Amino acid sequence: MTLTESIPNDRNEFAKIESVYRYLKKARSPATLNNWKYSLYDFFEFVKIHPDQFIKLDNSTKEDIIETYVDYLKSRVNQNEVNPNSIITLVNPLKKFLIFNRVENMSDAWIRIKANFPDRKRSTDEKYDELELQKMYNIASFREKAILGLLLSGMRKGAIKDLKFKDITTIEDWAAIRVYAGTNEEYHSFVTPQGLQSIRDYHEYRKRNGEKVTEDSPLIRNEFRPEHAGEWTDIYNKKHFPEAIHSDSGISEIIINLVRKAGVATNSHNFKTRHKTMTCHGFRKYFNTICKTSGMDSERVEMLMGHANSSLSGHYWRLPTNEAGMSPQEQKMFQTIKNEFRRCIPELTIGESEVLRIKNQQLEETVNESLREKELEINNLQRQLSKMRANPFIDMAPQEMEQFFEMLKDWKELRNQIPEANQT
């Protein structure tokens, strides 16, 4: 098909196209916006048709073009480049794009299009194992260790770039973290003591090198040379400032480089190749598995991962800035979640020595608690024994006491009848 308009090479310019913008502005979260934008761009880049032209085609032609794209995605599934379960995620934004651009009478066409989707299969994506996490942690920089700590809180990679220091709230020796702050997607998760320490170390590293870190500073910032941590001016008299990482791909690149440096994954030199462990999602899956196998209620695990399908009470629960300001119901839920997450901390901690330290600390707390219980039991028994000595009839039923006095009376009468006893 001959084009009258070309498709911009830049995705941000692509997003400014009238029909595309009309659709993207309906997105309710940054993650949804990125998914819609990337999915649409890939489709129109493949079919080589401008979006504004595409919506003007007759419905039969649009259906045929979409079918061709689905066939292309299926070929990538066969080459192990795309998960068949992802097809619906890649194609559904196109359906909504047409709806928001007032393209009607395509409901039957979408039934036929979806019938061409490959069969979904049970996910085989694996999580990282303890040895792989140890390899990454051993070679990680201050910034990479902080990112590992955040990923092991179960959050999505896309949430990291928007975090600020004020989103961290210390709880004992670990922390709660506010994710997607100020949006409809906002929720809370927890960071382990090790993760919190990594964030503090990264914070101190930035301050030592001259950055003025405030509560509004990005939790994870762009890379810098030590002499250029704060504000600085280059040879062209241009000023540079500490900046947040602006895109999900920026976070992904950091993690991919770390995974490769650690020897956990190799560079296939083909960005389309699927790996057995999804580079970023593998951490999220690790968090999910560890929490559930450590005894945390699955509903609360979903809540800590920000899943919208968790219960209303869980999904809309927020950690108040002041624990004393919690309602009794919030206080009860908070204590329950804390107690359950505390059991997960050893398995979410990277490194044998650190795990042993935490387990020994927990064992010591358990032993001390048992000793306190035994001490209470002993004190209670001693009090009861003292009462028995002071009053041997304590806790004796009235009928038993009456029988006892009758026996005592009979014994005295019998004793008076025996001369030897009287003489004695």
Domain extent at residue 250: 130-350
Same domain for 146 and 272?
yes
Residue 40 lies in a domain: yes
Tokens coding 319: 């950690």
Same domain for 97 and 174?
no
Average pLDDT estimate for 5-14 = 80
What is the rounded CA–CA span in Å between residue 92 and residue 106? 13
Instruction: Name every residue whose Cβ is closer than 8 Å to that of residue 73 and which is 6 or more positions away in sequence.
Output: 82, 87, 90, 91
Same domain for 144 and 53?
no
Q: At what angle do helices 281-293 and 142-151 cross, to 10 degrees?
A: 50
Q: Please report the pLDDT score of residue 412 as a whole number.
A: 66
- Integer angstrom CA distances of residue 415 from 14, 387, 418: 114, 30, 6
Burial class from Cβ neighbours inside 10 Å (0-12, 13-18, 19+) for residue 364 reads exposed
Residue 191 lies in a domain: yes
- Point out the domain boundary residue: 91, 115, 139: 115
Same domain for 152 and 298?
yes
Q: Please report the pLDDT score of residue 403 as a whole number.
A: 72
Same domain for 211 and 237?
yes
Residue 1 lies in a domain: no
Same domain for 238 and 309?
yes
Q: Is the pLDDT of residue 220 over 60?
A: yes
The residue ranking higher by pLDDT, 272 or 406, is 406
- Point out the domain boundary residue: 87, 115, 143: 115
The residue ranking higher by pLDDT, 386 or 63, is 63
292-301 contact pairs (CB < 8 A, 24+): 293/347, 294/343, 294/344, 294/347, 295/340, 295/343, 296/340, 296/341, 296/343, 296/344, 297/340, 300/336, 300/337, 300/340, 301/154
What is the rounded CA–CA span in Å between residue 28 and residue 25? 8
**Closest to 357 measured CA to CA, from 112, 173, 162, 88:** 173
Same domain for 331 and 361?
no
Residue pair 207/221 in contact (Cβ under 8 Å)? The answer is no
Q: Quote the percentage of the chain above a pLDDT of 90.
A: 34
Tokens coding 266: 């190799």
What is the rounded CA–CA span in Å between residue 105 and residue 73? 25
Q: Hey, is 315 helix, strand or coil?
A: helix
Q: Is the pLDDT of residue 353 over 60?
A: no
Q: Please report the pLDDT score of residue 309 as a whole number.
A: 55
Query: Which band of pLDDT confidence, cut at 50, 70 and 90, is reported for residue 410?
Result: low
Query: Which band of pLDDT confidence, cut at 50, 70 and 90, is reported for residue 58?
Result: very high
Residue 120 lies in a domain: no
What is the rounded CA–CA span in Å between residue 102 and residue 37? 19
Residue 202 lies in a domain: yes
Number of Cβ within 10 Å of residue 189's Cβ equals 21
What is the rounded CA–CA span in Å between residue 47 and residue 65? 7
Q: Please report the pLDDT score of residue 270 as a whole number.
A: 47
Please name the amino acid found at residue 143. Answer: R
Strands (E) in 225-307, as ranges, are: 232-233, 239-240
C-alpha radius of gyration, the chain, whole number: 33
Same domain for 413 and 277?
no
Same domain for 219 and 248?
yes
How confident is the model over 362-389, as pLDDT tens digits? 666 666 676 777 777 777 666 666 665 5
Q: Is the pLDDT of residue 30 over 60?
A: yes
The residue ranking higher by pLDDT, 360 or 107, is 107
Q: Please report the pLDDT score of residue 388 as a whole number.
A: 58
Same domain for 253 and 384?
no
Q: Please report the pLDDT score of residue 248 as a whole number.
A: 81
How confident is the model over 176-192, as pLDDT tens digits? 999 998 888 888 899 99
Same domain for 212 and 96?
no
- Point out the domain boundary residue: 115, 141, 157: 115
CATH number of 187's domain: 1.10.443.10
Same domain for 15 and 67?
yes
Per-range mean pLDDT, top range of 91-100, 113-122, 394-403:
91-100
Q: Is the pLDDT of residue 312 over 50?
A: no
Residue 102 lies in a domain: yes
**Count of the separate structural domains present in the chain:** 4
Average pLDDT, the chain: 81
Residue 6 lies in a domain: no
Residue 2 lies in a domain: no
